[in-house]
Amino acid sequence: MKEKCVGDVSRDSCIRCIELGRECTRKRPIQKAGRKPRQPVLLDPCTRMPKERDGALAETERLRKEKAPSAQLVLQWKADSPTPFEEQLLRMLQSEQSDELKKFARLLVIGPNFEEKLSNEIRAMANWEFEGSLDGYLACMGALALNLGIMPGGDAESNIRRGALAVSKLRTAPGPKFEELENWIVFGLAIVTFAMTALGTPASTVRRHVLKDVASLTSIPDHLQNSDSLMCLVAFETWECLMKRSIPVLRLEMTEKSHVSRLFGISGGIFPYLYDICELSHTLAVGNENERKIILTSLEKVEEEVELWQPATPQDLIVRFSTVEIVHMLCQAEVHKVSTLLFIHRLRWPFGVEDGLARRMARKITNELERSYLITHDRVRCVSFPFFIAGIEAQGKEERDCVLALVKDYIDPTTPIIQEQIKRLLSSIWQIRDVSTGYHWLDLLSHLPEAIIPT
C-alpha cells in the first residue's frame, strides 16, 4: 500500500524517504481513505453486465438471445474444480438440442412428450444465477448417470462432494425472491433426487425447507400450483407422512384441473385427499379412544370422495399424447385411486380383519399394472406407492416371490438402493403378519427396516 510522505516541517525530508533513499515531496494530493473502487469487468453472456458499459451490455444481450452459454463459460462462472466427467455433464447445457440431456430427462418422465419440457427446466435451473444451482445439477445428473450407466467416467465420491456443496449453499442462502421460486423448487428437487438415487435417503430436511418457502406465500400463484417439480416434492412429502403418520407441509390443489403432469399424468387430483388422510391418520395415532369414532366418521367421508373421484382430462389428450402414454396415464390414475382406498381400509382394519376386501383391492392394482404392460409392452412409471401398498397384502410364497421380482419394474428404476429397501420392508411385514394378526401395518414400521417411497 502506498504511503504519504510525513514528518516534521522543520526537516528537509521525512524519516520514511530517508530510509528509502528517495527525494521527499509532500505536495501529492491526499487521497480518500479506503480502497479505490474496482472497475466493472466484463465476464460472459450468462453473468450480469454493468450498466455503465451500454455498448457491451447490448452486445452481450444479443449473444444471450442468439445462443445458450457454452459449457466452458458456465464452468468459469460457477463450477468449482470439476472432474472430467462433470465437464461432460456441463457440456450437455451447451445446446438447447442436446440429445444427451434428453436421455436423462427420459428417466424422469412418464413419456416422450415430456422430455423437452423437463430438459428446459433442468437447463434453466443449472444456468440460474445462484451459487449452488450448478452443484445441484452435477450431483443429481452424476448420480443418475452412475446408477444407470448412461455415461462412463462418473464416481460416487465426486457426486457426494457436489451434493454436500449444494446442500450447504441451500441452507446458507437467503430466502428466494418471488420470481426465483420456480428455480428454487427445481434446485431442491435436484438435491432430493441425488440423495435418493445415490444414498437411499429422503433428504427430508431439504425437501421441507423448500416446501416451507412455498407454503409461506399468502397465495400460491397458478404456475406454481401446477408445477410438476413442486408436485414431485409434495408427493415425496405426502408418502413419507403417510408412512410416519405425520402432517405434510403443503396441501397442493392444482388450479388447472386438467393439468397433465410429467410424473403423475392425470393423477394429480388425488393428492389433496392424501393430505387429508395424513391429517386423520396423525390424529388417530395421537388421539384417545373417545376421538376415534369422530375421526373414523371423517375418514369415511374422505373415502366416499375418493370413490367418486375421476381424473380430469384435457380435451386434446388424444391429440397431444401417444396411445402408450394415454394407456399409462389412465392406469396410473386407477392404481393411485385404488391404493388410496386400500390405505384407508388398513387405517380402519388391522391384519386379520376384512382381509378379503384388502386382497381384492391389491389384486386390482397389480392386475391393472400387468394389463397395461400387456397392451403397451412397457412398464408404467411413477407407481411406486400403489405397488408397495398392494404388495403388503400378498400371501403365500409364490405370490410374494412374484411381488419381489416385480420391484425392479415398478419401484423407481433410478433408485436401486431404495428397491432393496422396499424388498426388505415387505419381507419384514410379511414375516410379522404370518405369526401374528391384529396389527395395523403402519404401527409396525417404527420397528422395521426403514424404506423410502420414490416416484
Residue 380 CA to residue 386 CA, distance in Å, equals 11
What is the pLDDT, as a whole number, of residue 223?
85
- Name the pTM for this structure: 0.81
Q: Which residue has the cell 435417503?
A: 201
Which residues have C-beta within 8 Å of that of residue 256, sequence separation ≥ 6? 222, 225, 226
**Res 152: pLDDT:** 81
- From 312, 321, 311, select the one nearest 109 (Cα to Cα): 321
* 249, pLDDT greater than 60: yes
Rounded Cα distance, 195 and 412, in Å: 14
* 278: pLDDT strictly greater than 90: yes
Whether the predicted pLDDT of 20 surpasses 90: no
User: 42 or 122, which is more confident?
Assistant: 122
Predicted confidence (pLDDT) per residue in 127-180, tens digit: 887 888 889 999 999 999 998 888 888 889 999 999 999 999 999 998 898 999
pLDDT value at residue 53 = 35
Q: How does pLDDT run across 53-68, given as a tens digit for each residue? A: 344 434 434 433 443 3
The pLDDT tens digits for 73-87 are 344 445 567 888 898
* Per-residue model confidence (pLDDT) at position 257: 73
Q: Which set of grid coordinates corresponds to residue 452? A: 423410502
- pLDDT in the model for residue 34: 52
d(CA 368, CA 91): 41
Q: Which of 87-101, 320-334, 358-372, 405-419 has the lowest mean pLDDT?
A: 87-101
pLDDT tens digits, 203-232: 999 999 999 999 998 888 888 888 999 999
| Mean pLDDT, residues 88-109 taken together | 80
Least confidently predicted of 30-44, 181-195, 275-289: 30-44
- 443 or 289: whose pLDDT is higher? 443
Phi first, then psi, for residue 233 (nearest 5°) are -60, -40
Q: Is the dihedral of CA 57, 60, 66, 69 positive or negative?
A: negative
3-state DSSP assignment of residue 82: coil
Q: What is the DSSP string of 326-350?
A: HHHHHHHHHHHHHHHHHHHHHHHS-
**Mean pLDDT over the full length of the chain:** 85
CA distance 303 to 333: 16
Angstrom distance (rounded) from CA 232 to CA 261: 9
Share of the chain above pLDDT 90, in %: 61
